[in-house]
């Protein structure tokens, strides 16, 4: 196509937010073109990951039978690692083990994004892969198109949706956010480790399509702000670590992210789970950690931003990203459909998008956890010191000896009094309750 080809809406990026936006527009009869820099949608994408499917299921009620998920999450484990020990809380409620499986499915982005992209095309949307957008085109301050940098390689549109993900360079260039420094992003590295299906199922105590999602906090990433994870695919494990980039830099750590993943894998609680598998994939990706207080501007004349590019990711324990991304894509599409009816894509009309985000679970959830990362950054004892103390106390309490239990309790109490600043701990716990839960 040449410059003269004008399309109603261009979406940059075929991740969950861009595809949800394109699908909603295509279904409403809007002409939409998705440009994706990867060889195919999902080729460059990675997540942990649990695909939270409630929004997808509204699009496709037959999601359970049709979508390429690996296993449903029937078992969840939250563990605190200390030096060479583990304390664990595990749950496998019957409701998570029957339809709709808590809308939580372990999936691979390469497959899921391709599947979703096909649905967009079936609905009438167009997708061009292998097309990297380098910049927006402007006319009198309004975004009117995109270019891939070549002389004759650009598209014009009435409105553009930027769904470029965490590496939000276009959003930055459009002046919607400050320059992305390390404080705005976490880094994650992950391996796919293949096993025979029976070994995997025996090891994780899962059967059939049931799967397990394990999250490891405490010292899983060497005292950094982040965590480790293991998710069971059909016949492989997704094993990874993610942590704050600024925390990593500040720590003066000489280790690479790969070293931190290797140390996680060699922890005595993790090593038996990954032993003997074959690493078949290695990936690294950024995760937004903008948080509610540092979100970018979501729109300007002719342009909206969605999903990770807009920092719309729940950075608390929930690790929800794809559902927020999809919902933001839908809200962007609805805003465009309203603006289209008025034939006016000015920032005034597009500002309705922010109102919709505010009214939805997206910004309400982000507001709720707005202090999560900053609180943990300034209260590192919660990650390192208290889990180690709790571990020591529990070990002492359950260690078998001929000491009377009352003596053991007294010793534990004395130990706490001697080693812990009780008012500080009480204040930290109160802060944790208010900011983390």
Ligand X SMILES: Cc1cc2nc3c(=O)[nH]c(=O)nc-3n(C[C@H](O)[C@H](O)[C@H](O)COP(=O)(O)OP(=O)(O)OC[C@H]3O[C@@H](n4cnc5c(N)ncnc54)[C@H](O)[C@@H]3O)c2cc1C
- List of E strands, 57-118: 71-82, 85-91, 104-106
**Nearer Cβ to ligand X (171/435):** 171
Question: Binding to ligand X (CB under 6 A): which residues in 9-38?
Answer: 12-18, 35-38
Question: Binding to ligand X (CB under 6 A): which residues in 377-436?
Answer: none
Query: Between 98 and 137, how does the x/- string for binding to ligand X read (CB under 6 A)?
Result: ----------------------------------xx----
Structure tokens at 377: 């950054």
Q: Does 75 bind ligand X (CB under 6 A)?
A: no
Q: Does 52 bind ligand X (CB under 6 A)?
A: yes
Residue bearing tokens 């998570």? 96
Query: How many secondary structure helices (H) and strands (E) does the chain include?
Result: 17, 17
**Nearer Cβ to ligand X (306/371):** 306
Q: Does 218 bind ligand X (CB under 6 A)?
A: no
Q: Does 50 bind ligand X (CB under 6 A)?
A: yes
Select the residue interacting with ligand X from 22, 30, 49, 81 (CB under 6 A).
49
Q: Which stretch binds ligand X (CB under 6 A): 39-47, 85-93, 265-273, 426-434?
A: 39-47
How many angstroms separate the CA atoms of 317 and 339, rounded? 36
How many angstroms separate the CA atoms of 164 and 182, rounded? 18
**Nearer Cβ to ligand X (13/74):** 13
Q: Does 349 bind ligand X (CB under 6 A)?
A: no
**Nearer Cβ to ligand X (183/379):** 183
For 255, other C-beta atoms within 10 Å of its C-beta total: 14
Q: Does 237 bind ligand X (CB under 6 A)?
A: no
Q: What angle do CA 20, 25, 29 make, to 5 degrees?
A: 145
The reply to whether omega before 100 is within 30° of 0 (cis) is: yes
Q: Does 188 bind ligand X (CB under 6 A)?
A: yes
Residue bearing tokens 């261009």? 10
Q: Does 44 bind ligand X (CB under 6 A)?
A: yes
- Residue 315 gets the label, from left (phi > 0), alpha (psi -120 to 50) or beta, of alpha
Q: Does 163 bind ligand X (CB under 6 A)?
A: yes
**Nearer Cβ to ligand X (322/388):** 322
Question: Binding to ligand X (CB under 6 A): which residues in 314-343?
Answer: 319-323, 325
Instruction: Please state the three-class secondary structure of 272-313 as a single string.
Output: HHHCCCEEEEEEEEEEECCCHHHCCCCEECCEEECHHHHCCC
Strands 71-82 vs 85-91: parallel, antiparallel or unpaired: antiparallel
Q: Which stretch binds ligand X (CB under 6 A): 301-309, 351-359, 378-386, 406-414?
A: 301-309
The reply to whether omega before 49 is within 30° of 0 (cis) is: yes
Secondary structure letter of residue 132 according to DSSP: -
Q: Name the CA radius of gyration of the chain, rounded.
A: 24
**Least separation in angstroms between CB 34 and ligand X:** 9
Secondary structure letter of residue 412 according to DSSP: H
Size of the site for ligand X (CB under 6 A): 42
**Nearer Cβ to ligand X (21/388):** 21
Q: Give the residues lining the site for ligand X (CB under 6 A).
A: 12-18, 35-38, 44-50, 52, 132-133, 163-166, 170, 188, 190, 240, 242, 285, 287, 307-309, 313, 319-323, 325
């Amino acid at each position: 196509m040449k410059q003269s080809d004008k399309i109603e809406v261009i979406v940059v990026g075929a991740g969950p937010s861009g595809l949800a936006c394109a699908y909603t527009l295509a279904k409403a009869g809007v002409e939409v073109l998705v440009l994706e820099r990867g060889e195919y949608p999902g080729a460059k994408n990675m997540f942990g990951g649990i695909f939270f499917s409630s929004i997808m299921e509204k699009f496709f009620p037959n999601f359970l039978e049709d979508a390429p998920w690996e296993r449903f999450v029937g078992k969840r484990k939250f563990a605190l690692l200390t030096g060479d020990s583990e304390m664990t809380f595990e749950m496998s409620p019957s409701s998570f083990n029957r339809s709709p499986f808590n809308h939580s499915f372990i999936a691979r982005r390469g497959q899921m994004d391709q599947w979703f992209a096909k649905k967009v095309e079936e609905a009438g949307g167009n997708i061009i892969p292998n097309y990297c957008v380098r910049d927006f085109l402007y006319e009198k301050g309004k975004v009117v198109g995109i270019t891939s940098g070549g002389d004759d390689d650009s598209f014009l549109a009435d409105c553009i949706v930027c769904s470029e993900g965490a590496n939000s360079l276009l959003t930055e260039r459009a002046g919607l956010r400050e320059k992305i420094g390390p404080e705005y992003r976490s880094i994650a590295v992950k391996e796919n480790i293949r096993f025979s299906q029976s070994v995997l199922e025996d090891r994780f105590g899962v059967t059939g399509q049931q799967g397990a999602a394990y999250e490891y906090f405490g010292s899983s990433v060497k005292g950094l702000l982040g965590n480790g994870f293991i998710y069971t695919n059909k016949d492989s494990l997704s094993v990874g670590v993610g942590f704050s980039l600024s925390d990593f830099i500040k720590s003066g750590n000489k280790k690479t992210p790969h070293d931190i993943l290797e140390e996680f894998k060699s922890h005595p609680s993790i090593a038996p789970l990954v032993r003997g598998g074959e690493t078949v994939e290695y990936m690294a990706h950024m995760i937004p950690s903008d948080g509610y207080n540092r979100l970018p501007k979501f729109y300007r004349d002719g342009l909206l931003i969605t999903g990770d590019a807009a920092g719309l990711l729940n950075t608390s324990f929930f690790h929800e990203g794809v559902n927020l991304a999809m919902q933001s894509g839908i809200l962007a599409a609805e805003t465009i459909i309203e603006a289209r009816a008025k034939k006016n894509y000015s920032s005034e009309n597009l500002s309705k998008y922010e109102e919709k985000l505010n009214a939805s679970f997206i910004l309400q959830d982000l507001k709720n956890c707005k202090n999560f990362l900053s609180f943990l950054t300034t209260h590192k004892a919660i990650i390192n010191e208290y889990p180690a103390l709790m571990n020591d106390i529990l070990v002492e309490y359950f260690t078998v000896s001929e000491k009377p239990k009352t003596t053991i309790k007294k010793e534990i109490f004395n130990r706490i009094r001697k080693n812990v600043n009780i008012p500080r701990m009480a204040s930290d716990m109160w802060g944790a309750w208010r900011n983390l839960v």
